[in-house]
Chain A
Amino acid sequence: MRNTQATQLLFELAKPGRRANMLPPSDVPTTPTEKLYPSGALRHEPLELPELSEGDVARHFTNLSSLNMSVDTHFYPLGSCTMKYNPKRNERLANLPGIVDLHPLQPDESAQGMLELLYELQSYFAEISGLPAVSLQPAAGAHGELTALMAAAAYFRDLGQTRTKVLIPDSAHGTNPASASMVGFQSITIRSRADGSVDMDDLRSKVDEQTAVFMITNPSTLGLFEKQIDQIAERIHSVGGLIYLDGANMNAILGIARPGDFGADMMHYNPHKTFSGPHGGGGPGAGPICVRDFLEPYLPVPRVTKVGEAYRMDADYPKAIGRVHGFHGNIGVLVRTYCYIRAYGGKGLRNVSEQAVLNANYMLARIRPLLPVPLGERCMHEFVASASKLKKERGITAMDIAKRLLDYGFHAPTVYFPLTVPEAMMMEPTETESKETLDAFVDALEQILSEDADTLHAAPTSTPISRPDEVRAARKPVMRWTATP
């Protein structure tokens, strides 16, 4: 029952003369704009935008939405992305008048409630991380990495030290090395051992006085807690370097272990993951960072402070790296984060991680007999299975399984990441799924593995489209609609 008419492109649905949005007649004199502006600055050709009625627009986008899988409609065990339920109350509360309609530059006196919320949120972030100083400004996890690396660079500059290297394990997200490059650091890859932990010999051979920062994701992208973290931290600190914790996987350790207690000097959160964002079809995220007190002077400005009983947006920090965002960061996401944290409270947050880890281990226990999980009998909040053996024996790849899962009404796990596991399938159930859902997923997987290879190669067959030709898309890219193709 797909409505193919309404899901044509906007530009194909358009018809000259259709109108949707209308303004009231002007209540001030309508001086011709030619008299107001230099001719060279004015548009002389008609603007090429589609012309549609409101009904066209509503039906078009409603139908498009039905072509997506989402957390609201499907189990979405996309590893590393923490696709948990996004509470409806957060949407309502973040859209309250007095919250959603605040201008970023309005006087502090007229935004005391918002500033109080942000100030409290800073204290929650500090408490959960064990790192006392917070900046809410970074707009995404990668932006938080970049901001913290800048703060670290400013700290070393202040000490009169030139440090050039950032060390990063081979299983890390690509954003880590990319962020390091943007701050002028050289990325050095540290090998993982067969069990997924950092190869300490490799680390020792690469740490020296040039080491600025060691970036680590802990729990790692393999879903394992790096037990040597305190030894790593000791080694890095002994040469004067800093530990950065990529907080992508905080959902496993809320209230259980704190980065500041296990050696990290700085970290970011991904509130769209850990604190139920939501993900918005690719964003927005947010990337607040927490750092140790000696790094506080370098955090970006402005920052939320409290003077007496009054809250302020304060830009008066002479050693600050500057500003990293047009305004104060992704406040709308942070408001939802605040609501989420308040709905759970301190004890509840610990329970979130306990249930997330329970769900992941349950799934792992049920999947291990079906697919090899190369690293670990147990996991934290996620684990990585491998289709490597299946590929050799039956020509079935991780991609084939992923695609067939779609036919069974499940979103696929993350595939081909981390790069260190061949034919990787990274699964993260999150805490907001029931045992019944996890069972149904594993049953589907079992069924799929009993199907013949051709069925899997042909999958998916029940989705709005079959597998798209990505080679064609990349060879001769078509990145916009044009009237004459």
Chain B
Amino acid sequence: MTQGATSEPASARQAGPAPAEPPGRARALGPGARAALGGPAGIHSLSLLGVLAVLAVIGAVTAPDQFLSTSNLQLILVQASVIGVVTVGMTFVIIGGGIDLSVGAIVALASVWCTTVATQEYGMAGMVFCALAVGLGCGLVNGLLIAYGPIVPFVATLAMLASARGFALQITDGRTQIVTVDSVLTLGDHDSYVLGVPPLVLFFAAVTAAGWVLLNRTTFGRRTVAIGGNPEAARLAGIPVRRQRLMLYALSGLCCGIAAFMLVVLSGSGQNTNGNLYELNAIAAAIIGGTVLSGGRGTIVGSVLGVLVFTTITNLFALNNLQTEVQQIAQGAIIVAAVLLQRRTHLAAP
């Protein structure tokens, strides 16, 4: 829950010129209320906080001893962190009018490449560099194909999904690569927790903060919204649309590299099956968080809350010994509900 609490002021600050508030409603609320809510996106984030609160109550009732324990909350946050970092990158890509289906495969490739015996010889720094470089490299390939090919994002990243997974399998030959570098392994230990917060969660918080600033306070973020909202108008306004697209996929790849290293810390190993279905989870979390799949609108705070909702539900199902099948069905239902809610909040005006 820590994450949800810290992101709230962020959503309030975002208020200013919220992308598309129904004018009447905003006026009816008055400027104060409007600033506090931050337009439809803010309302959306608030409702996600409400969903989290409801889930917490359900957890406290159904598994009173386990759910609210420190170790369980730490577990939820750690689990949310890896997919959360991927989701931040995915949010940028979707706001920019694209989609990245290759994130799971890139995580797998980066995680196995940075855990080969050869890479591990360079210690933690070498492993981090390798993971980030592989992620960034794959993202750049995606971006070049999409921006300058041009190949539609769906196809280009689908091809990357297949190739990167295949490459990862070739590197590992299907074996699990155990990490032997102590400094990496200790990052996952209880001893490295900062005031009870696992380092991986701090990574996630840092990526979230950086993503929020990048989206809301820089020309990069503004251009991302512009090319997603209306690529032709962006081009005619003199925005270098292709370069921006390239950078968005590179950013997503870089996030995958960070997530890959975090996954290696978490599992103490690298496997070619890592990051399975991350593309689905990241896209779902972004949508639940209020990002519009057609581009031009979305928030980092919403996406992070979307990840937390998803992870908390998974945790609740595990604590209550429910089957994964049921869990997946529930996740599908949540995605549909989130999109319906999004339509309500965004399309109120004519």
Question: A and B bound?
Answer: no
